[in-house]
Amino acid sequence: MPLLRLLIALSLCFAAHVARAECSLGDVGALPERNLVHLPATRAAAEPMPLVILLHGSTGTGADMLRDSHLAGTADRHGFVVVAPDGGIAAGRGFVWNIPGVPTVTGVLPPEGARDDVAYLSDLVDRLVATGCVDAGRVYVTGLSGGGRMASWLGCVAAPRFAAMAPVVGLRAGRPLASDPAQADAETCRASVPLPLLAFAGDADTTNPIAGGGAPYWQYPQSAALQRWAALNGCSEPYARNLSATVYEQGYARCENGATVAARVTRGGQHSWSVVDNEAMWAFLSRHRR
């Protein structure tokens, strides 16, 4: 019996070793997105790292977003990976994201046969996890403007893949209601598990006003998105509070399974990454695991 117990223990240790591959930086470098993957300057030896997916705005690029967000510096300080891919539809000088049934910033629906960006981004996560460098339980998504809408869409249709999300000047909760674009269509955002959420916005944003309006194809206010996510996350207590002289937060507390729903709004903030506190974003994201 002692020998049998020893053999069982050894087999379990071997199985655990096989299940988690050691981080191979060469495998990361071999990915097609290699130039858009930022590995932190320092990391815990042999330990899989958290991953933040960073999605650019409409007609932008991943490279632009990585530069403008300064998230690489935050990753270096805290030891997480950032990947900043390009959207699947060429537009302007860059790309836009494919959210089915909703026109892009060009004013037309995604073309037939356009890349399925949900499938692409899910596969990208799988490929990064397979290198052994990324922890599958600590995958997060953020994005600016159109990238914030895409991050929100991932939350609606692929919530189990992510531990938390932080859309920037682009929080949504499904497609607009066909009969009333000023309302969210609840049937198009049915996240299967609670997903912690912290959005960032500015109250002087004229491109995507938090009170609603803006582009004719997606007009519902931030409050409608927050309310829908509160329902999805099982939250019961609305709140509002000042965080500083220039930033206030509104959201919902008492949510299920440790989820949260909140938006931080910068007074006088515009439609740009300038409304984000990267350290605060990472502090929020890093509290959550899937």
Q: What letter does residue 256 receive in the DSSP assignment?
A: G
Question: Which of the two residues, 145 and 181, has the higher pLDDT score?
Answer: 145
pLDDT confidence of residue 218 = 80
- The residue whose two tokens read 């509160």 is 230
- How far apart (Å, rounded) are the C-alpha atoms in residues 273 and 136? 27
DSSP notation for 136-197: EEEEEEEEETHHHHHHHHHHHHHGGG-SEEEEES---SSSEETTEEEEE-GGG---SS---E
User: For residues 104 and 153, is the Cβ–Cβ distance under 8 A?
Assistant: no
What pLDDT does residue 214 have?
A: 81
Question: pLDDT tens digits for 185-222?
Answer: 999 999 999 999 999 999 999 999 999 988 777 889 99
Check pLDDT > 90 for residue 163.
yes
Residue 45 has a pLDDT of 57
Mean pLDDT for the chain overall: 91
Is the Cβ–Cβ distance between 202 and 269 less than 8 Å?
A: yes
**Domains and their CATH numbers in the chain:** 22-285 (3.40.50.1820)
- Residues 105-114 pLDDT 10s: 888 899 999 9
